[in-house]
Structure 1
Amino acid sequence: MATLTYQLSLLGLILCAVQLISSYSFKSCIADPYYILTSFKCKNRNNTKISDIVKDLPGSAVNLTVSFNPVQHIPNNSFAHLPNLQYLSLDKNKLSAIDPLAFQTLHQLNHLNLSFNNLSDLSPLLFQDLHNLTSLLLTNNVLKALPEDIFSNVANLKTLNLRNNNLTNFSAIVKSVSHLTSLKFLDLSSNNLTSLSDLNISLPQSLKVLDLCRNNLHTLGCNPSLLRFIQVLDLSFNSKLSTKALEGVDLRNVKRLQLRSTSVKAVEFLNISNISAGHVVFSGMGLKNDSLLIDLCTMLRRKRSWIKNIDLTHNGIHNATNSTFSVCPQIIGALDLSNNDLNKVHCLDFLGKQVGIKKFNAEHNHITSLESCKTINFNNLKELSYRYNRILSVSGYAFSHMPKIETLKLNINNIAFLHRKALRGLKNLKTLRLDNNLLTDLFNDTFKDNYNLQILNLRNNRISVIFNETFMNLRNLITLDLGGNKITQIHPSGLDGLRSLSKFYLDGNNLKQIDSSLYHAFQDTLTVLDLQKNFIRFYKESVISPFVNLSKLSDLKLDSQRNYGLVVLPKNFFKGLHSLESLYLTNNKIDFLPPEAFDDLTSLKFLTLDNCCVGVAQLKPGVFKNLRNLTRLVVENMGIQNFSKDVFGNLTKLRMLQLNRNVMQSISVDALESLPKLHYLDMRNVPLSCTCKNSLLQNYTVNNPNVQIVYLYEMKCQVDKKQKFHNFDTKVCYIDQGKYLFFSTAAVIFLFTVSPLLYVKLYWKIKYSYYVFRSWFSDHWRRLREKEEKCAYDAFISYNFSDEEWVMNQLLPNLEGNGSSFKLCLHHRDFEVGRYIVDNIVTAVYSSRKTICVVSKNFLRSEWCSLEIQLASYRLFDEHRDVLLLVFLEPISERQLSSYHRMRKVMLKKTYLQWPGPDCTDPSQAQELFWNQLRRAIRAGNRLETEQNDPDEDFARASNETGNYEKLLSDDEYYLQP
């Protein structure tokens, strides 16, 4: 009930913490994504103050590890804001001082680790608030003593580890722990204790394990009953400790006593001690010859009739004869002869009648070979280990004398020859370790009798070919490890018979392709397949999937293909892997990830592409479209330029995303928000720009309470390394949108209202001004004004091409011929070739004393003609120069002229000429008068003085010279119009 109440209160704290904090990112710590806001690791930070490391952690924290930091001092109340801590590890820092109230308020703390620091002394009040502390680790410090009352308030302490300090006073230690009624484990190894003088102070009765190895004990000197409740006692590596030092000490309850590398003599000790002989570990007690071993066995037989385990490691035993263990009581458990100097084992003949033995270890010896053994002696032996020897060969029937063996360890030897019948008779064998040897060949009858084998480890040998039917009889094999060999080829039926295989390791071989035998060998069994570090490589995008029948495969490793990597990942390569949960593709040089590559991986939960595709411009949309069960994605160092919703939007269950060392300068917040389950985002070493395009991203990282950005507050801006991404200035990125929208809308409405009016009223004025400005800009304006007084032409003729016949047949002969000396400027004749037509028109107007506009209905419809009359009228009205002459070829009504405001203004100010039509009374005389008046108008000056001269008078004088003006005026009223 109390546990349930505590869990509910903790859940409430977590919910409150989620509501109160504005960010799920921390300055110096990383939260475990699978334990939301309860577990944190703060490692390898450069902060020297513990407060800077943990100050931003929420009160809901339960587990906290602060390691590998340069922290030297922990002040009072450093963890006051973390009252729910249960596990606190401060190991591997540089702590030299901890204030008395540093752990105040940590009433829930169960485990405290202060190991691997520089602590030399502790305050008596240091642990006073740790009422629920059960485990305290202080290993590898420089403590010289413990305050007497330091553990007065930690009554629940069960484990106290003081290994590798400088403690010298055992009595003071006993006094400090004597009241700990729950203490079970006390480690005082590797200190400077010289004796166990206790001053009649007893160890807690609850204490069961006491480790005193690697001290300087030469005598115990303690109350005989001091150790009466200890069950495991280690006195090893106290070289000065003698047999006499243990005389009279009550060891009756000790279940395991280690005396390695002491001066205690085994037989003498058993004579004076009340310990059960079977509970003494005889490792390293100098029992190096038959005589000593026989004496020991005689003593053991006298003590009791049988014994379970005998540990004779580290005794320097060189040889054992048939009589060595004959006098020993029956061993019904394990015999360990590891770390001795044995050269041969002689089919275990030296064990004599010890046929009840179940486990035999002879590791770390000098055995060079295993001979054939034809006699069955050890029917009860289940486990045999010859690891770490120098075995070169194993003969046939080498283990026939132990047919019931289940575990055989021959690994880490030099076995180059394994007889094809070496394992004959081992029908109960379940685990076989042959890894780290020199085997080159396996034969189809090597494992003939091992049909119950479940684990076969052949890693790190020199096997190059798997021949047909090599594993034919291993129908119950679950794990096959062939990693680290030189396999280049697997014969077509090389994997036949492996009906139950679940885990298959082929990593570190020389395979260039995935063998076709995989297509059919493991249809319904294989769950783990390791193919990393081979030479597998593809050159085309379409291949037959080698995994199409592996419907149960859940873990596939293809990372680090050697030399060139996979190069191409075929689009249907993973077809059929509907149960795959983990896929490793790191460290491959894949040129292109097809959008269909992962379509069949609907159950995938973990995918790592770290460093697999460096140089890929971007991931294609839809490449992760079917990975809706993916919870962790590693895409580090892939050269990703864009993080888009089209690529990552379907990962609806993704919890962890690692984007380290990519090249995108911005990340779309929409893409991140499309990942509703995301809790962990690592984008360190990504060159995010501190500009407005990342203002939304900054807000997302700082204020999102659900997504942890790893070391967010350490992320720097790329341009200015002194500026941090989380607080770069974004004020200029946010504007009063309402105000700007109002002014923008008002301006647009005004423009739409005024533009039509300007178009109607000022269209030609603006257009003319533009052309004049262009001419001025290109230096034409200056040159034209300079030539104005010295005009190149008498008149520029502006006409429409439809009136060209009249101009060429009538105008040109009468003004340039018939004795006239006028020089006219015509389009087709005098315009400069290759020049802009506008520039030609401007030059023609300003290089002529007059501009004659031949007006007709077609003329009024011509844009170029309109421009020409506009230019001329500009000189007439704005420069006050009489340069414009209007000649109407045909009658044009007022209605047709109503839209030409500029021309009507000219007609109101100046007299214009009308070409006599065919219905005139005397056309030839009227035309003669027309040409005379036009010549006179061309000769007239171009200075317009409206106040002194009346142009109509000049016109009348010119007409009177012919003597027919009045008559013509009465005959044809429309010829001259004022």
Structure 2
Amino acid sequence: MIWKVINFSALLLGALTSPTPSSPPISNTEEGPCRIYNSGSSADCLGRQLNSVPWRQFHPHLKLFCCSTITSHTIDDDAFKNNTLLEHLDIFNNSLQEIPARALTPLLNLKKLYMSNNLYKHATLADSFSKFVKLQVLSMGGPLVMGLKKADFQPLKNIKLQGFSKSFQTQMMGFDMAIDQRPSALPHMLRDLANKTFSLIQFRNLFEFTYYMEKEDIFQGLKDITANQLIFHRGKFNENLLRMALMNLQVTPIKWLRLQYIDFARSPTFVDSGAGSSITDLELDKLDLWYISNPDILRFDWRFTWFNKIKDLSIRYVYFNSVPCDSWVEMEGVESLDVSNNRLQNEFIFNQRCDYKGSMPNLHTFNLSTNELTSLKDLSSLTREFQQLQVLDLSNNKLGSAENSQDCVWQQNITHLIAHHNQFVSEALCCLPTTVHYLDLSYCNLDQLDMMYFEKATNLKELLLSGNKIKFIPSKWESLSLQSLALDGNSFGLISKASFQDMPRLSQLRAGNNPYHCTCELHAFVQDTISQGKVNLTDWPWNYRCYHPEAFLNTVISKYFPGHVACDIRLVIVICVATTTAVILILMLICYIFDLPWYTKATYQIIRAKYRAHKEKALLPCLENNRNPYRLCIHERDFMPGKWIIDNIIENIENSRKVIFVLSRHFVNSEWCNYELYFAQQRAMGKTFSDVILVVKEPIDPNSLPSKYCKLKKMLSTKTYLEWPQHANQQVFFWEQLRSVLGKPTMTREGTHSVKSRTSSEGGISVIGLPMEDQRPEVVKPNMDQEEELGNKIINRNNHELSNQGQIPVVAF
């Protein structure tokens, strides 16, 4: 017999802490007392305050039914007669005064049955339960069940339940009961479980209202039970009760202990004799301390020796604020340490006065996530002596500031660093360990990457940078070992084939959910990546959409196809060259047909003549059209047609009283003007250099003149010349000076009846400037040796005459 009569305040036998599982997601609904979803295969009547089960609303293929708060004390016998396919039935927390055996009889496919927390007084199961051969989970019990009998569960003898009770083929067993008034009941229960094997045993609210204050060891029966995991969920534990449990666990095969939501308190009767802890040989593969109300549980006997032989230690939501130096020494057997979710700060976890040398010799994995840590330097100092440390989890902290991320020295064995959900700046990356193979920096607010760190991280194989604010992919990002890269959820819009060309081993890339600029480079990258198959885009194609240009906003990149001409620069060059060549050939053909070169040349000459017509526009009107006009000779108007140009030049210079040279850069570049200057110098040898008048139209540096103009250089250096003023108000003085140099006209102006009369009369003035181009034929240049000899004679004579007469006053403007 298990128990003949045992008084309970509550009894729950089952596999789950919460007997009512959450409802599946809703796909469709119908109106009625219950919510029907999943195409009629599921019904939810939770909280509807029903008087009875609305079976008429159910579909014949109903597989899941949840109902609570039925006000009726019974369920109709034919409530489920049409729902023989039902697999999941939840009638937890109702007012049923008896187990509805007849109503459940048709449900031969039932796999999960939750009927605890009802008002039945007896837990005896009907024979019909023996037909539920598919039953896996059974939850039953209630506050009015006063005891259990051996035959109560006899129908389940041959059913392999995943969770139930003693004499049956079950793997998980849970007790939801309070033994505050009868602590002696626990040894009887454990005795009935002796020599049985379970995967899980759970005690919920073992002491719900009071702490156990007696001296009797109520956990003695644990040593005879074989179980993989033992859970104490909720309830009150003091130091003495915990010591009893741990001492018995030292001699049991149980390897996993969890204490969660425990209200822990010191025992007022405990006296520390200083002889050492009573818990020194607790060998557990895993110890979980979760949601403990008092962090003193970590040092419940004022020592940490009970951690000495723990391999996997997890301390969550305990909110301790210091780690004594001796605790690190006592945890020498710990291979995995999880202190996440404890609001730890730098000074809580790292004490500069502690000597960490030789501590935690077996620690492989260290989880510090979801705390309030800010200093990478302190963490590197803490873990520097952990010789076997390979995996470090620093996620969900406040790490990454520049001031707290300097001078870091890490253990060289660290291969995995998890640091997502922090606040990193790019400068802080240099403080991370460079030996890692796996690095997670997702959601760290990074806006750019420090390439110096990645150059040093030569063993990096997997890098996660999701959910940051990275604005561009660094150029020349070289990583010879990187195999997997995650860049999704950032802010860059440009990506090309060159972005990852220096990552020869890259095989996995996740880069969706970025504001992509749909360009030819992006299209080429996608096409090349997909066609080669070397790199697998793990989130392709729906996470890749265009953000720019606006015309392609939200367009899936897989459907973006730019034209060949827009993307192939070689094709653009070929088209441009062909088009340009065709246009040039057509223009050349048009020019040939319509004789366009001749018209162009003529237009050019007209424009140049108009630009250079200083003599016609200014000189001629002012000298020929005044009250006492001068007779002027210019080649365009007064040279005799049919004569040799040389003869015209010689004849007109010889018949002129004065020769005016208008000097400009075009004058210097004209061969004909050079000849005219030569013949004027020849004439001056027989007369006087005062007959030659120099008018400088624009400033000319004598030193810049070619060597053949040596005579002109000397004239500019020794002879006073007139300079054409650029300002109009100064040009009046120029004309007065020029008239004073020319003297009074000696002849009256004659009619211009013929070219002959204008060119052969003596007393005229020859005006020499830049001739119109192509109006004079090529002639043989004068002998330069003769020119040199004559030039020397002219200079000597000019110097003699200048010494006997005063120069004409000239004001240069």
Give the TM-score normalised by structure 2.
Answer: 0.58
Contact kept in structure 2, 1:171 and 1:197, CA below 8 Å? no
Higher RCO, Cα 8 Å, sep 6+: 2
After TM superposition, give the deviation of residue 680 of structure 1 in Å.
3.3
Distance 1:277 1:596, change over 3 A: closer
| 1:411 alignment counterpart | 290
After TM superposition, give the deviation of residue 458 of structure 1 in Å.
2.6
Distance 1:459 1:510, change over 3 A: same
| 2:495 alignment counterpart | 643
**What's the CA shift string for 1:21-65, capped at 9, x where partnerless?**
xxxxxxxxxxxxxxxxxxxxxxxxxxxxxxxxxxxxxxxxxxxxx
**What's the CA shift string for 1:834-877, capped at 9, x where partnerless?**
799xxx99xx99xx99xxxxxxxxxxxxxxxxxxxxxxxxxx9x
Distance 1:559 1:244, change over 3 A: closer
Contact kept in structure 1, 2:400 and 2:422, CA below 8 Å? yes
After TM superposition, give the deviation of residue 903 of structure 1 in Å.
1.8
> Does 2:66 align with 1:189?
yes
Contact kept in structure 2, 1:372 and 1:398, CA below 8 Å? no
After TM superposition, give the deviation of residue 235 of structure 1 in Å.
1.4
| 2:252 alignment counterpart | 380
Contact kept in structure 2, 1:380 and 1:404, CA below 8 Å? no
| 2:465 alignment counterpart | 608
Counterpart AA for 2:30: S
After TM superposition, give the deviation of residue 503 of structure 1 in Å.
1.7
| 2:205 alignment counterpart | 338
Contact kept in structure 2, 1:645 and 1:671, CA below 8 Å? yes
Matches of 1:354 and 1:586, distance apart in 2? 50
> Does 2:175 align with 1:312?
yes
After TM superposition, give the deviation of residue 504 of structure 1 in Å.
2.0
What does residue range 572-971 of structure 1 map to in structure 2 within 5 Å? 575-577=434-436, 580-584=437-441, 586-589=443-446, 593-594=450-451, 597-598=454-455, 600-608=457-465, 610-611=467-468, 613=470, 618-623=472-477, 625-627=478-480, 629-634=482-487, 636-638=489-491, 640=492, 642-651=494-503, 653-658=506-511, 660-662=513-515, 666=519, 668=521, 669-673=523-527, 675=529, 676=532, 677-680=534-537, 708=541, 710=543, 712=545, 717-718=549-550, 741-748=577-584, 797-798=662-663, 799-800=667-668, 827=698, 831=723, 901-904=774-777
After TM superposition, give the deviation of residue 658 of structure 1 in Å.
1.7
After TM superposition, give the deviation of residue 831 of structure 1 in Å.
4.9
**What's the CA shift string for 1:621-660, capped at 9, x where partnerless?**
222x22564333316434x464344432234534433254
Contact kept in structure 1, 2:368 and 2:393, CA below 8 Å? yes
Structure 1: gaps of 5 or more residues: 1-91, 93-112, 123-139, 147-159, 179-185, 285-299, 467-485, 683-706, 850-875, 877-882, 890-896, 908-915, 928-978
Matches of 2:789 and 2:286, distance apart in 1? 133
Matches of 1:655 and 1:715, distance apart in 2? 24
> Does 2:427 align with 1:568?
yes
After TM superposition, give the deviation of residue 511 of structure 1 in Å.
1.7
Matches of 2:668 and 2:426, distance apart in 1? 72
Contact kept in structure 1, 2:395 and 2:418, CA below 8 Å? yes
Matches of 2:494 and 2:61, distance apart in 1? 62
**What's the CA shift string for 1:147-180, capped at 9, x where partnerless?**
xxxxxxxxxxxxx7545589976877999469xx
**What's the CA shift string for 1:125-144, capped at 9, x where partnerless?**
xxxxxxxxxxxxxxx94369
Structure 2: gaps of 5 or more residues: 1-21, 633-659, 700-720, 740-754, 756-763, 780-785, 798-813
Matches of 1:746 and 1:352, distance apart in 2? 102
| 1:933 alignment counterpart | none
Counterpart AA for 2:292: N
Distance 1:260 1:902, change over 3 A: farther
Matches of 1:537 and 1:681, distance apart in 2? 32
Secondary structure of 2:510's counterpart equals strand
Secondary structure of 2:427's counterpart equals coil
Distance 1:768 1:412, change over 3 A: farther
Query: Given the alignment, which residue of 352, 365, 370 partners 1:503?
Result: 365
Counterpart AA for 2:543: V
Contact kept in structure 2, 1:628 and 1:651, CA below 8 Å? yes
Query: Given the alignment, which residue of 433, 442, 450 partners 2:314?
Result: 433
Secondary structure of 1:233's counterpart equals strand
Counterpart AA for 2:662: I
Distance 1:667 1:224, change over 3 A: closer
| 1:222 alignment counterpart | 102
Identity %: 10
Counterpart AA for 1:622: K
- Tell me how many residue pairs correspond in the alignment: 638
| 1:937 alignment counterpart | none
Counterpart AA for 1:511: S
Matches of 2:575 and 2:151, distance apart in 1? 102
Distance 1:324 1:555, change over 3 A: closer
Contact kept in structure 2, 1:347 and 1:401, CA below 8 Å? no
Contact kept in structure 2, 1:373 and 1:401, CA below 8 Å? no
**What's the CA shift string for 1:766-809, capped at 9, x where partnerless?**
66566679899xxx999999999969996662454989899799
Secondary structure of 1:142's counterpart equals strand
After TM superposition, give the deviation of residue 568 of structure 1 in Å.
1.4
Matches of 1:343 and 1:457, distance apart in 2? 31
Secondary structure of 1:430's counterpart equals strand
Distance 1:502 1:765, change over 3 A: farther
After TM superposition, give the deviation of residue 116 of structure 1 in Å.
0.6
Distance 1:436 1:804, change over 3 A: farther
**What CA RMSD, in Å, does the superposition of the two structures yield over aligned residues?**
6.6
After TM superposition, give the deviation of residue 513 of structure 1 in Å.
1.7
Distance 1:796 1:597, change over 3 A: same
Matches of 2:332 and 2:411, distance apart in 1? 28
Matches of 2:386 and 2:170, distance apart in 1? 47
Matches of 2:43 and 2:488, distance apart in 1? 44
Distance 1:825 1:538, change over 3 A: closer
> Does 2:28 align with 1:118?
yes
Secondary structure of 2:582's counterpart equals helix
Distance 1:632 1:755, change over 3 A: farther
> Does 2:549 align with 1:549?
no
After TM superposition, give the deviation of residue 715 of structure 1 in Å.
5.8
Larger Rg: 1 or 2? 2
Counterpart AA for 1:621: S
> Does 2:52 align with 1:142?
no
Counterpart AA for 1:118: N
| 2:145 alignment counterpart | 265
Contact kept in structure 2, 1:145 and 1:169, CA below 8 Å? no
Matches of 2:536 and 2:611, distance apart in 1? 63
Distance 1:425 1:733, change over 3 A: closer
**What's the CA shift string for 1:934-972, capped at 9, x where partnerless?**
xxxxxxxxxxxxxxxxxxxxxxxxxxxxxxxxxxxxxxx
Counterpart AA for 2:208: D
Counterpart AA for 1:388: Y
**What's the CA shift string for 1:883-935, capped at 9, x where partnerless?**
9968799xxxxxxx9x9733229x9xxxxxxxx99999xx99xx9xxxxxxxx
